[in-house]
Structure 1
Amino acid sequence: MVDYDKQMKTWIRSQHLICVGSDFIFETVDQTQLDKFETCIRGMGGRIRTVKAVGNWPMGPRRSFKILQATASVPRPGGEALVTYWAKKGSKTTRYSEISS
C-alpha cells in the first residue's frame, strides 16, 4: 500500500510541492510523477483542479522538457497536517519557479 503522507512530504522537501492558501501546487517535468501525485491526492480524498504547462526546463543545447503544474485541493482537517509540515520543512517556491515565472 502506498503511504500518501510520506510521498507528499518527500515532494515538499524536494521543492516539487508547495502550499498556497488552501491549495497544493505540484510542479514536475515527469508525467509519471504527475500521475503519482494525482493518485496521492485522490487517496487523501482530494482532487486535482487544474494541470497546465508553465514553462520549459532546459536539458541540453537543443532539448527541453515542459514544466507541468497541477493545482489540487485536499479536504481539511486531513490536509492540515501537510500544511503544517510544509510550513516547517518546505519552501514558498518550487524548484522550477525561476523558469515558470
Structure 2
Amino acid sequence: MAFADSEKQLKAWIRSQHLICEGTDFIFETVDQTHLDKFEFCIEQLGGTVRKVSAAGNWPMGPRRTFKILRATAAVPRPGGESLVTYWAKRGTTRTRYAEIS
C-alpha cells in the first residue's frame, strides 16, 4: 500500500467516524482487529507511530453478544499529517461512532 493509498484509507475512516483528531493525536476506534492492524500500517506509512491500544468498552451485537471496542492512539508528524488534520476539520466529527458506548 502506497502513501496515497494510506492517506485515502485514513480519510475514509474519518468520514465513517472511526477516526478523529484530538490535539496532536489521531484516535481510531473499531471492533475489528484486522482494521486495527491496517490502521497501524497506514500510520506507519505516513511516518507516524501507534502509541497506545486499549479496550474502550463493549459494542452490543444482539441479545447476548458484544464485541470489544478497540481504541488506538497514534501520533503523526507535522507537516506530513497536516492535510489529514485539515480534512478531518472539514469532514470529520469530534466523536467516534462508538462514543455513546465507551
TM bucket normalised to smaller: over 0.9
Aligned pairs (5 A) from 1:20-35: 20-35=22-37
Tell me, in whole angstroms, the C-alpha distance in 2 between the residues paired with 1:22 and 1:56: 26
Tell me, in whole angstroms, the C-alpha distance in 2 between the residues paired with 1:27 and 1:77: 24
Aligned residues: 100
Offset from partner CA, 1:54-83 (integer Å, 9 cap, x none): 100000011000000000000110100000
**Number of the residue aligned with 2:6:** 4
User: Where has structure 1 moved over 3 Å in runs of 4 or more?
Assistant: none
With normalisation by structure 1, the TM-score equals 0.97
Secondary structure, counterpart of 1:82 in structure 2? helix
Aligned pairs (5 A) from 1:42-61: 42-61=44-63
Query: Aligned-residue CA RMSD in angstroms?
Result: 0.6
Equivalent of residue 39 in structure 2, options 37, 40, 54: 37
Amino acid at match of 2:97: R
Does residue 65 (structure 1) correspond to residue 45 (structure 2)? The answer is no
Q: Percent identity, please.
A: 74
- Consecutive unaligned residues of structure 1, counting only runs of 5 or more, are none
Q: What is the deviation of 1:10?
A: 0.0
Q: What is the deviation of 1:40?
A: 0.1
Tell me, in whole angstroms, the C-alpha distance in 2 between the residues paired with 1:30 and 1:82: 22
Tell me, in whole angstroms, the C-alpha distance in 2 between the residues paired with 1:86 and 1:78: 14
Q: What is the deviation of 1:18?
A: 0.1
- Consecutive unaligned residues of structure 2, counting only runs of 5 or more, are none
With normalisation by structure 2, the TM-score equals 0.96
**Number of the residue aligned with 2:87:** 85
